[in-house]
Chain A
């Protein structure tokens, strides 16, 4: 079943022209030219429950507290809770909006 969830997530990103690719346990894609990723393992609840950690290149600095090393070298993963989930007809669009919101705080 896990494969189905990942496939649904990837397909949604493709529809939004976010250039998704699955590598090293991550779904890597682009939001407004910034490369970002989520862990495949976090997609088992998709689309009912969204992923949690947002992976970004270390050069992207968030004014935040909770960052940990990513599985991808030179990257960090950032803990960012989504406010409310499940009210959007297109969950992938909602997810990208969330990532875009987080990126807007980057320095």
Chain B
């Protein structure tokens, strides 16, 4: 149980808890329920609902004191909803991430066993400081407190409280001076610590990932099962014919570009050749704080759409549609869209960007089946490099709004840029009654996982492995790898020379 831990809640839940815990400047205490969200290396407690105390359930001995009755009642409610128990209290007058004081440790430890016995899940302790920053820990039986690495609050802004001991603020460097000057040291330290996953390493995903690296983000994930092919080269800027010949995976090639463009002192790059539709891919995705959806297939987008609500990980989604004339002469138009998928906003199915009815056909592999496509008049997915960068820009601007809230405004809602008229439109979107996706807020591990075996992904990976065994690809790779190693060496030399210049200046 040395896993990383985290806590997440919606902005509405945060507001309700803050009202209860910090109302009159006295240390108050509340119980709440949570559902676990289990990633590959991180488990997150998703706060579900507050359990307000009934008369006589809080005693006062200087500070608010719990009673066993309150704990037992709340734990029973939690159990009935397949939840764990949260013990939350306020620290009026304090700022930032809080250490666990002796008294807090004793109170939480005293109820940890009881909570686990009733709910079957570890007690989670939460502390809220006056500046609205959270602190959290999981109490596992026989292990004690595992302090969380962060707490994220998902609303029209993504607000993250950080445990500096576990995720130290990144050192800013001279190469980032202008970025830092744009939004200040504090914002920069926060946003470059967020673990960001880019799902889909195609033209849009590539641009997004490279820009995140240039911004200084210190932990970037890349997920794609596909191989670089010659017909990708007009959009995968930075990928070469060598990569197509050597059957490089897209995440390898984009990962290399991300590394080259990273401005952070150290970048933790996590590449995965899984699909987010596979159970292991989905688990890997649940380790991140924010996800970019740069995929166009309905199945993958449906999985991410669900993650945004069920696991409280905001998903920045969007894409481009190029409308070609069927006779091959000229172009009718193009549009690109961008939106943040999160509780409080309509999901991708409600805002018209995802047809949930296409998921089953995609999952069965029908969308790769020529017979099926011929019968249904499938579209070709046209795209050009000159415009895909605009789609990426749209996604990145949504991300900056969500993260930095320029002028105090967070995510702006769905946007659409129409190329023929050059207009940017706010797209009205409403949650449909009985939307099955948005009903899953904080359902966590119990949410319907649309993940399963993915034959197209298996097939791609197998084809790549087969190609890797041929002699010409092996030799080509050895030569190509050597060149990249030499280039990396040269970059190291440049780094040291620039440092010398820095000291002299």
Point out the residues of chain A lying under 8 angstroms from B436, CB to CB.
47-48, 86, 91
Which of B355, B360, B372 sits near A51, CB closer than 8 Å? B360
Which of B356, B364, B434, B435 sits near A42, CB closer than 8 Å? B364
Which of A41, A65, A68, A85 sits near B357, CB closer than 8 Å? A85
Considering residues A45, A50, A87, A89, which has the most beta carbons from chain B within 10 angstroms of its beta carbon? Answer: A45
User: CB distance A48 to B306 under 8 Å?
Assistant: yes
User: CB distance A79 to B361 under 8 Å?
Assistant: yes
Give the contacts of B340-387 with A (CB-CB under 8 A).
349-350, 355-361, 363-364, 366, 371-372, 374-376
Point out the residues of chain B lying under 8 angstroms from A89, CB to CB.
433-434
User: CB distance A87 to B355 under 8 Å?
Assistant: no
Give the contacts of B17-66 with A (CB-CB under 8 A).
none
User: CB distance A52 to B366 under 8 Å?
Assistant: yes
Point out the residues of chain A lying under 8 angstroms from B357, CB to CB.
49-50, 52, 81-85
Taken together as a complex, chains A and B put the C-alpha atoms of A65 and B374 apart, in Å, by: 9
B302 at the interface (CB under 8 A from A): yes
User: CB distance A87 to B360 under 8 Å?
Assistant: no
Decide yes or no: A79 and B376 within 8 Å by CB, A45-B450, A48-B437 being known contacts: yes
Measured CB to CB, the nearest residue on chain A to B377 is: A65
Taken together as a complex, chains A and B put the C-alpha atoms of A81 and B449 apart, in Å, by: 22
Measured CB to CB, the nearest residue on chain B to A48 is: B436
A4 to chain B, nearest CB (A): 9
Point out the residues of chain B lying under 8 angstroms from A66, CB to CB.
371-372, 374-376
| Contact flags B417-435 to A (C-beta < 8 A → 1, else 0) | 0000000000000001111
User: CB distance B450 to A87 under 8 Å?
Assistant: no
B421 to chain A, nearest CB (A): 27
Point out the residues of chain A lying under 8 angstroms from B361, CB to CB.
52, 79, 81
Decide yes or no: A79 and B372 within 8 Å by CB, A48-B436, A49-B450, A86-B437 being known contacts: yes
Taken together as a complex, chains A and B put the C-alpha atoms of A48 and B433 apart, in Å, by: 14
Decide yes or no: A87 and B371 within 8 Å by CB, A45-B360, A45-B363, A49-B359 being known contacts: no
B436 to chain A, nearest CB (A): 5
User: CB distance B376 to A81 under 8 Å?
Assistant: yes
| Contact flags A35-64 to B (C-beta < 8 A → 1, else 0) | 000000110110111111000000000001
Point out the residues of chain B lying under 8 angstroms from A82, CB to CB.
355, 357
Which of B349, B366, B449, B450 sits near A79, CB closer than 8 Å? B366
Measured CB to CB, the nearest residue on chain B to A67 is: B375
Point out the residues of chain B lying under 8 angstroms from A64, CB to CB.
375
A88 at the interface (CB under 8 A from B): yes
User: CB distance A87 to B432 under 8 Å?
Assistant: yes
Measured CB to CB, the nearest residue on chain A to B432 is: A87
Point out the residues of chain B lying under 8 angstroms from A44, CB to CB.
363, 450, 452
Measured CB to CB, the nearest residue on chain A to B359 is: A49
User: CB distance B360 to A52 under 8 Å?
Assistant: yes
Point out the residues of chain A lying under 8 angstroms from B372, CB to CB.
66, 79
User: CB distance A48 to B358 under 8 Å?
Assistant: no
B16 at the interface (CB under 8 A from A): no
Which of B355, B434, B448 sits near A45, CB closer than 8 Å? B448
User: CB distance B355 to A85 under 8 Å?
Assistant: yes
Point out the residues of chain B lying under 8 angstroms from A81, CB to CB.
355, 357-358, 361, 376
User: CB distance A85 to B356 under 8 Å?
Assistant: yes
A54 to chain B, nearest CB (A): 12
Measured CB to CB, the nearest residue on chain A to B450 is: A45
Point out the residues of chain A lying under 8 angstroms from B452, CB to CB.
44
A50 to chain B, nearest CB (A): 5
Taken together as a complex, chains A and B put the C-alpha atoms of A66 and B366 apart, in Å, by: 12
B439 to chain A, nearest CB (A): 10
A19 to chain B, nearest CB (A): 23
- Interfacial residues, chain A to chain B (CB-CB below 8 A): 1, 5, 41-42, 44-45, 47-52, 64-66, 68, 79, 81-89, 91
16 further interface pairs, Cβ-Cβ under 8 Å (given A45-B360, A48-B450): A1-B448, A45-B302, A45-B363, A47-B436, A48-B302, A48-B436, A50-B357, A50-B360, A51-B360, A52-B366, A81-B355, A81-B358, A81-B376, A82-B357, A86-B437, A91-B436
Please name 30 pairs of A and B residues whose Cβ atoms are closer than 8 Å in the assembled complex, sorted by A. Answer: A1-B448, A44-B450, A45-B302, A45-B356, A45-B359, A45-B450, A48-B450, A49-B302, A49-B360, A49-B363, A50-B356, A50-B357, A52-B360, A52-B361, A52-B366, A65-B375, A65-B376, A66-B371, A66-B374, A66-B375, A79-B361, A79-B372, A82-B357, A85-B355, A86-B356, A86-B434, A86-B437, A87-B434, A88-B434, A91-B436
- The 10 closest A-B CB pairs, nearest first, are A66-B375, A82-B357, A87-B432, A49-B359, A89-B434, A85-B357, A52-B360, A52-B361, A85-B356, A65-B375
